[in-house]
Every structure is written in structure tokens, then in C-alpha cells.
Amino acid sequence: MTQDAPQQHTPETFAAWLREMLTRRGYPERGGQKQFAKDAGLSAPTVSRLLRGEGLPDTRTLEALAAGLRVSLAEVLVRAGVVKQEDLAALRPINPNPITSRQAAAELGITSPAGIEAFERMVNGLVAVETDERTTNG
């Protein structure tokens, strides 16, 4: 049994996907791209260029496309060929809340009470240095 090769994402396949998404989101073929451009905060020529498969957009344009299409930025990045699905899947999610020094110690495999205490002292000292440098240079 053979496995299919992963789909190659090119400007042409991105254009086809974008056309399909515009249709799904209710933007008609005639006049829809101009309205979508306005709704997404993009220029009409940028959207037109993408729909013709002429190159790939920069990151800010990809972010605007994701917002305008109401899809994740990750999906747009994969469809645009910026990242591969398997690479994206391997990334750890970014936690907007920083972990504690105790959690960091556990992630590093530091489990003894003495080791955890020493690690926490070191982290607290580094945080103090960073705070002092920001205050001094800030």
C-alpha cells in the first residue's frame, strides 16, 4: 500500500483555495473580490494578484486573509506553502501565560526539593537582573 505524497502548495493552488474560500464566505465571483479586499483591509489589486496566482503574500497580508476568511492563520500559512502541515503539527502551542519557575524546573526534569529550590533562586536572580537592566536602560 502506498501513501500519497503531501500536496505541494504553490501560488496557483493557493489562488484556487482562496477562490473557493471567497465563494464559501458568500463573496460572488463578480464584485466579490473587491468587497472582500475592503472587508479584510487589503487592497483590491493585492487580492486580484493572489487570485491570479501571481506570487505569495507577505505575513501581514496572510494575517489579514485569515481574519477576513475567518480561518486560522495556521491554515493560511499551510495553504500558502509557508509552512508544512507536519511542521506546524510539531510546534508546541504558545502559552500566553508564562510558566512559573517551579513548572520550568519540572519541565527540565528537576524533581528534588533542593534542586527545585536552587533553580527557583537562580530564576528569581535572573528576573531581578532583567528588571534592573530594563529600568536602567529603559
Among residues 69, 90, 111, the one where a domain terminates is 90
Residue 79 lies in a domain: yes
CB of 28 within 8 A of CB of 51?
no
Residue 3 lies in a domain: no
d(CA 25, CA 49): 19
Residues 85 and 124 in one domain: no
Residues 16 and 78 in one domain: yes
Give the H or E element holding residue 86: helix 85-90
Which domain covers residue 106, as residue numbers? 101-137
The pLDDT value recorded for residue 100 is 87
pLDDT digits (tens, 9 = 90+) for 92-132: 676 677 788 898 899 899 999 999 999 999 998 988 888 77
Residue 73 lies in a domain: yes
Residues 127 and 68 in one domain: no
Low-confidence ranges of the chain (pLDDT < 70): 1-7, 92, 94-95, 138
Domain count for the chain = 2
Nearest by Cα to 65 from 45, 89, 36: 36
The pLDDT value recorded for residue 5 is 45
